[in-house]
Amino acid sequence: MKKRKLLIDSEISESIFKDEKTKINKIDGEWYFEIGREVTSDLAEAVTLMMRLYDSKDEIWNLEIKTKSESITPEKCLFWLTGGKNEWSSCENYIINWSKCHLDFQEEFGILIINIVKRSKNLGDIRKHFLKYLNLAILYDFALSKGFIN
């Protein structure tokens, strides 16, 4: 993680966006997101992390997507959409841990995540579609049907 942080702050990177909560840099055509304490190059994961920090009217959502969608790992995005570190470390709502159910979530929603990213023009499009097609009610209904929650 430290190497990546050094890479983001290096002179070879191009700053795309920066405020007190988030830094987005471009290195060799790839976007790197530093959101709070998390660092990722996964666009879908970055959007889910930013959804917790930014209002729908914030300027960050207007950023046009100019990065590859091949580096999307749906499991990362789904981890945060289903509750993130707090939920999966405490398992307050789930009766099974993430390592035992992540493949089921990925199988059900993985292609949807990739398609949302591919079809989106800006970060706000991804956010809007995540809220519509991958909201907590939908994810909880799926978890209920699989017996992951009571």
Spell out the alpha helix ranges (H) of 10-135.
Answer: 43-51, 74-81, 84-90, 98-119, 123-133
pLDDT in tens, 97-138: 999 999 999 999 999 999 999 999 999 999 999 999 999 999
pLDDT in tens, 41-65: 999 999 999 999 999 999 999 999 9
- Contact predicate 60/49, CB 8 Å: no
pLDDT in tens, 77-93: 999 999 999 999 999 99
CA dihedral 102, 26, 37, 90 (to 10 degrees): -10
The answer on pLDDT for 6 being more than 80 is no
The DSSP output letter for 3 is H
Q: What percent of the chain has pLDDT over 70?
A: 91
